[in-house]
Amino acid sequence: MSSNNEKPTSTTSDTFEVSPLDERDQEECDGIALPSHVAGAGTLDRLVDTARGYAKASTAQNTNKAYAADWKHFARWCRLKGTDPLPPSPEMIGLYLTDLAAPANDAPALTVSTIDRRLCGLAWNYAQRGFTLDRKNRHIATVLAGIKRKHARPPVQKEAILPEDILTMVATLPFDLRGLRDKVILLLGYAGGLRRSEIVSLDVGKDDTPDSGGWTEILEDGVILTLNAKTGWREVEIGRGSSEQTCPVHALEQWLHFAKIDFGPVFVRTSRDGKKALESRLSDKHVARLIKTTVLKSGIRSDLPEKDRLALFSGHSLRAGLASSAEVDERYVQKQLGHASAEMTRRYQRRRDRFRVNLTKAAGL
């Protein structure tokens, strides 16, 4: 996602005390209600509640959280400026974007991608409340264009985790149940090119839990992961490795066996001593922490200061690693990553041959 989880760096955001939504705000945000001329009934009320659930599920949970935070921040900003966030005012939104890009008192500014995401959040929130935010309005479009022109920077790509890196990272894990679980996360995430949310949302079987994001099917030649991804349901095939020590499927089988998991979430928390599997599902933040911790322990990019090394690697490093290291036809990598276009897949390929086609020579020079 630019990422919807990107943490704002501006102190403009930090100085506003974010208050929880009141009941009216929550109902407006839900966007589903009975028409005023229809009398309430038990059946209709149930349908309204169900429809609200579907509406909430129309966007990812992390996206919903980010959009809710965007609205709270903007509403607080409006109150401090003596105005109201409703109805939408393109002039005020243009000033809001300006304040994010050039805050007072020399406070750090938000990145252009975060500002753009904030605007998307406002547009979504206005739509839920029955309003239309015209992003092409000159008070918004020209200000945003100026911000991008003046402050935009090339996108910062996370470093790819290469085959030798992932093996070194796995070698730093302890020889207990927790270490076995984390080994599966690294190997499965790498071989499947999985997002961290896709990893932790896996269940053993179909429909095991209400919050499932997919399930596993272990076969003789590998494992099939059925995932409810951003682009819809898709299957990811992960074949067995060349040895049991590096095979993600074998590691998965070992984890499920020793953790005694045959139903529910695949990846759960463990006891403090790392010897007993608990029931609660892991958070996707654990994957990010695991990657950063094992990168440090394994000495990858030890030529850089620790702060820079931590900034280079994230959950996307697993996906970039697969895309950069798999010596197969590009279309297979595209399918594995679940990308709609080959161009998106190429953004993940850090070591691809950029000059395989030389148009300069082809043009006669």
**pTM strictly above 0.85:** no
User: What's residue 90's pLDDT?
Assistant: 95
pLDDT confidence of residue 173:
96
Q: Please give the pLDDT value at position 356.
A: 65
For residues 268-295, b (16+ Cβ closer than 10 Å) or e, as one string?
Answer: bbbeeebeebeeebbebebbbebbbebb
Q: What is residue 265's DSSP assignment?
A: B
pLDDT 10s digits, 241-291: 999 999 999 999 999 999 999 999 999 999 998 889 999 999 999 999 999
The Cα 172–Cα 299 span in angstroms is: 10
Per-residue confidence (pLDDT) for residue 309, from 0 to 100:
86
pLDDT reported for residue 72: 95
At 317, give phi and psi (nearest 5°): -65, -30
Give the pLDDT score at 334.
73
Model pLDDT for residues 79-91, shown as the tens digit of each residue: 999 999 999 999 9
Residue 23 has pLDDT above 50, yes or no: no
Does 15 have pLDDT greater than 60? Answer: no
Please say whether the dihedral angle defined by the alpha carbons of residues 139, 145, 148 and 149, taken in this order, is positive or negative: negative
Q: Which of 42-51, 52-61, 191-200, 334-343 has the lowest mean pLDDT?
A: 334-343
Coil, helix or strand at residue 262 = coil
Q: Is the pLDDT of residue 353 over 70?
A: no
The tokens for 72 are: 């709270």
Cα dihedral 128, 132, 135, 140 sign: negative
> CA 336, CA 101: separation in Å to the nearest integer?
37
In terms of Cα–Cα distance, which of 190, 194, 302, 188 is closest to 250?
188
pLDDT at 348: 65
Q: Which two tokens stand for residue 154?
A: 């090339």
Rounded Cα gap, residues 320 and 349, in angstroms: 6
Give residue 313's pLDDT: 87
The Cβ of residue 128 has, within 10 Å, a number of other Cβ atoms equal to 15
**What pairs with residue 237 in β-bridges?**
224
Per-residue pLDDT reduced to its tens digit, 103-151: 987 778 898 989 999 999 999 999 989 999 999 999 999 999 999 999 8
pLDDT one-digit tens code per residue, 25-60: 544 555 566 666 665 666 677 787 888 777 777 777
- Would you state the pLDDT for residue 139? 95
| Angle at alpha carbon of residue 349, lines to 282 and 192, rounded to 5° | 35
Give the pLDDT of residue 339. 60
Alpha-carbon gap, residue 318 to 158, rounded angstroms:
10
Angle 175-176-179 from CA coordinates, rounded to 5°: 75
So what's the pLDDT on residue 304?
86
**Within 10 A of 73 (CB to CB), how many other CB atoms are there?**
21
Whole-angstrom Cα distance, residue 230 to residue 2? 14
Q: Helix H segments across the chain?
A: 11-14, 23-30, 42-56, 61-80, 90-101, 112-128, 138-151, 163-171, 177-192, 196-200, 248-258, 284-298, 306-312, 316-325, 330-337, 342-348, 359-362
Confidence tier at 325 by pLDDT (50, 70, 90): confident
pLDDT band for 16, please (50, 70, 90 cuts): very low
- Side-by-side strand order, sheet with 214-218: 202-203, 214-218, 222-229, 232-239
